[in-house]
A and B are shown apart, each in its own frame.
Chain A
Amino acid sequence: MERRVPLKDLKEKSMSAVFFASALISIFAVGLICFFLLSNGLPAIMEIGVFRFLLGREWSPSDVPPAFGIYPMILGSLCVTAGAILIGVPVGVLSAVYLAKACPEKLYRVVKPGVELLAGIPSVVYGFFGMVVIVPVTGNSILSACVLLGIMILPTVVGIAESAIRAVPESYYEGALALGAGHYRGVFFVVLPAAKSGIFAAVVLGIGRAIGETMAVIMVAGNQARMPVSLLKGARTLTANIVIEMGYAADFHREVLIATGVVLFLFVLATNLSFSALKRRGRI
């Protein structure tokens, strides 16, 4: 009996160490990712010069001498993301209002799981859909990418916005009705503003999803590495730049592509961290 106690103690201690070590994995992973991306990407940025790299308007890696300016791709990413948000967020939030406040119970039981299922559709399938349905109408263009990405972020936006709307206490809505507001007036002017933090979260997640999306965008955006000129002309995003050229890039060109990844990584990280910092301070 006496011997079993220390053994049990040892087991408890060692397992709690194992749990702790497992929790550290995510710190370790982020550290490793940062180290490998930065150590492979930063030297290239330094060699080109930060401003010439970020604001250079010309990307021609195979010219002599080559030009490595990713400004067109940064603009491409921003255009496509902004368009996706402009399309996806209003439609998504209004759909969430419908699901939370106007949908008949019976329909809800069909539609809600349907939207949840659609959140899992692989981006290549969306991309293929874009190729065969959207591109014939609007061509390989920024507009096609915006529309497709707007559709792709819908399930995410609808899901989060709906739970945000549902989290608003019913008394807010009842108070609005008691003051003489109609059903929709109550929802739009009282419930929605109270849910703005959750809706903002939906927007941020949508931005993250849109800016990081790769395959679907490549399949519809045209991918010309030049300054975006019009909605109906093609453009290349940061993500597309990496996938398209990584296959054959060598040496310095490769390092520059990794540097493109670093820019993307830092941008997403900055968006997410500033959002969670804002949330923690209760500003939104």
Chain B
Amino acid sequence: MKNDKKNNRGKLSSELFMAALTHGAALATFGVLFFLVIFIFVKGIPHIKPSLFSLSYNSENVSLTPALAATMLATPMALLITAPLGVFAAIYLTEYAKRGSKWVTLVRVTTEALSGIPSIVYGLFGSLFFVLFLGWGYSMLAGVFTLSIMILPLIMRSSEEALKAVPDAYREGAFGLGAGKLRTVFRIVLPSAMPGILAGVILSIGRIVGETAALIYTAGTVAQIPTSPMQSARTLSVHMYALSTEGFHTDESYATAVVLLFVVIIINAASVKISRRIGGRA
């Protein structure tokens, strides 16, 4: 009896210890992360003023409009290049490829490799290939192409998951009704996989908006609204980096961080919402 009690007490205290550990860690994680967001918003929102949104940048107004414009130009351009390619590649992998084919293994290994490459290495490659070898100079186009390689694995993987989640019965039904393979893919499989594909696309928008290291030496850092794709321009993240490391405009840095954070949070919330929708439906 006595021994039992002792055991129980030992068990209880080790349970308590582990509970404290778990709760403490969770509190630290969520605390720090929420503190970060709240901190930036509280410090930054008072500094958001109309001059930040003037049409052109100078060292007086530190306007973020050119950077915002460059971001909003670069994002659709990169998506336009990568989204079709990535989705087509995923279609090949799920609908066409034979099981255990050498090509499939090679595609998977290289996609995995691409997704692990640090963004600064993409930046180096972009500046070697697009900027120098193809002679595009520091330009939006060079930045966009670098970004589009960077988001390829993201779009491929999410599209593949989405296509795999479409039940085979859909395909069999389409074949049974006399549709060809292509028709089945485009009319039946692709529409049902659309929410998953879209979630991946939105996630890659977030990646593009947040990217800095891959852009500094490809798209350059000129703070004006680009009028042609061959001009250099800085996106919002690059602008944020330039501002905060210059160190002269701390207030404006806070405000720019708020705008950047706001954009990214909206984008990711959209992605989470869409992927929840499919989760709920399946």
Chain B positions 57-110 with a Cβ under 8 Å from a chain A Cβ: 84-86, 88-89, 91-93, 95-97, 103, 106-107, 109-110
Chain B residues with CB under 8 Å of A247's CB are: 216-217
In the complex, residue of chain B having the shortest beta-carbon distance to the beta carbon of A8 = B180
In the complex, residue of chain B having the shortest beta-carbon distance to the beta carbon of A110 = B30
In the complex, A219 has a CB within 8 A of chain B: yes
A258 near B124 with CB under 8 A, answer: yes
A212 near B119 with CB under 8 A, answer: yes
B14 near A115 with CB under 8 A, answer: no
A11-B40 CB under 8 A given contacts A118-B33, A120-B264, A154-B29: no
In the complex, A24 has a CB within 8 A of chain B: yes
Chain B positions 10-53 with a Cβ under 8 Å from a chain A Cβ: 11-12, 14-15, 18-19, 21-26, 28-30, 32-34, 36-37, 39-40, 43
Chain B residues with CB under 8 Å of A268's CB are: 116-118, 121
Interface size bucket, B side?
35 or more
In the complex, A129 has a CB within 8 A of chain B: yes
In the complex, residue of chain B having the shortest beta-carbon distance to the beta carbon of A133 = B39
Q: Which of B168-176, B225-233, B240-248 makes up part of the contact surface?
A: B240-248
B237 near A212 with CB under 8 A, answer: no
A122 near B264 with CB under 8 A, answer: yes
B149 near A29 with CB under 8 A, answer: yes
In the complex, A215 has a CB within 8 A of chain B: yes
Chain A residues with CB under 8 Å of B39's CB are: 129, 133
State A115–B28 Cα separation when bound (angstroms): 13
For A117, give its contact among B180, B207, B269 (CB under 8 Å). Answer: B269
In the complex, B1 has a CB within 8 A of chain A: no
In the complex, B194 has a CB within 8 A of chain A: no
State A274–B129 Cα separation when bound (angstroms): 28
For B28, give its contact among A26, A91, A257 (CB under 8 Å). Answer: A91
Chain B residues with CB under 8 Å of A119's CB are: 268
State A187–B122 Cα separation when bound (angstroms): 41
In the complex, A184 has a CB within 8 A of chain B: yes
Q: Which of A13-21, A57-65, A224-232 makes up part of the contact surface?
A: A13-21
Q: What is the minimal beta-carbon distance from A101 to any residue of chain B, in angstroms?
A: 8
State A213–B241 Cα separation when bound (angstroms): 14
Contact with A along B119-136 (1 / 0, CB 8 A): 111111101110001000
Q: Which of A31-39, A47-55, A67-75 makes up part of the contact surface?
A: A31-39
B33 near A182 with CB under 8 A, answer: no
B29 near A120 with CB under 8 A, answer: no
In the complex, B111 has a CB within 8 A of chain A: yes
In the complex, B272 has a CB within 8 A of chain A: yes
Chain B residues with CB under 8 Å of A16's CB are: 92, 96, 181-182
State A43–B244 Cα separation when bound (angstroms): 36
State A243–B272 Cα separation when bound (angstroms): 33
Chain A interface residue count, CB cutoff 8 Å, equals: 87
In the complex, residue of chain A having the shortest beta-carbon distance to the beta carbon of B153 = A26
Contact with B along A199-228 (1 / 0, CB 8 A): 000000000100111110011000000000
In the complex, residue of chain A having the shortest beta-carbon distance to the beta carbon of B16 = A184
B25 near A269 with CB under 8 A, answer: no
Chain B residues with CB under 8 Å of A12's CB are: 180-182
In the complex, residue of chain B having the shortest beta-carbon distance to the beta carbon of A9 = B180
Contact with B along A235-269 (1 / 0, CB 8 A): 00001001100110000000001100100110011
B244 near A128 with CB under 8 A, answer: yes
In the complex, A84 has a CB within 8 A of chain B: no
Chain A residues with CB under 8 Å of B113's CB are: 30, 269, 272-273
For B106, give its contact among A27, A98, A242, A269 (CB under 8 Å). Answer: A27
Chain B residues with CB under 8 Å of A90's CB are: 25
8 contacts between A and B (CB under 8 A): A22-B86, A32-B125, A94-B26, A101-B22, A117-B269, A117-B272, A120-B268, A125-B264
Please list the residues of chain A having a beta carbon within 8 angstroms of any beta carbon in chain B. 8, 11-12, 15-16, 18-20, 22-27, 29-30, 32-33, 36-37, 40, 90-92, 94-95, 97-99, 101-103, 111, 113-129, 131-133, 151, 154-155, 158, 182-185, 187-188, 208, 211-215, 218-219, 239, 242-243, 246-247, 257-258, 261, 264-265, 268-269, 271-273, 276
Extra contacts, 11 of them, besides A95-B29, A219-B245 (Cβ < 8 A), are A19-B89, A25-B85, A98-B23, A99-B26, A120-B264, A121-B264, A122-B210, A124-B210, A124-B260, A264-B120, A269-B116
Please list the residues of chain B having a beta carbon within 8 angstroms of any beta carbon in chain A. 11-12, 14-15, 18-19, 21-26, 28-30, 32-34, 36-37, 39-40, 43, 84-86, 88-89, 91-93, 95-97, 103, 106-107, 109-114, 116-125, 127-129, 133, 149, 152-153, 156, 180-182, 203, 206-207, 209-213, 216-217, 237, 240-241, 244-245, 250, 253, 257, 260-261, 264-265, 267-269, 272
Closest 5 CB pairs of A and B: A212-B118, A122-B210, A94-B25, A22-B88, A98-B26
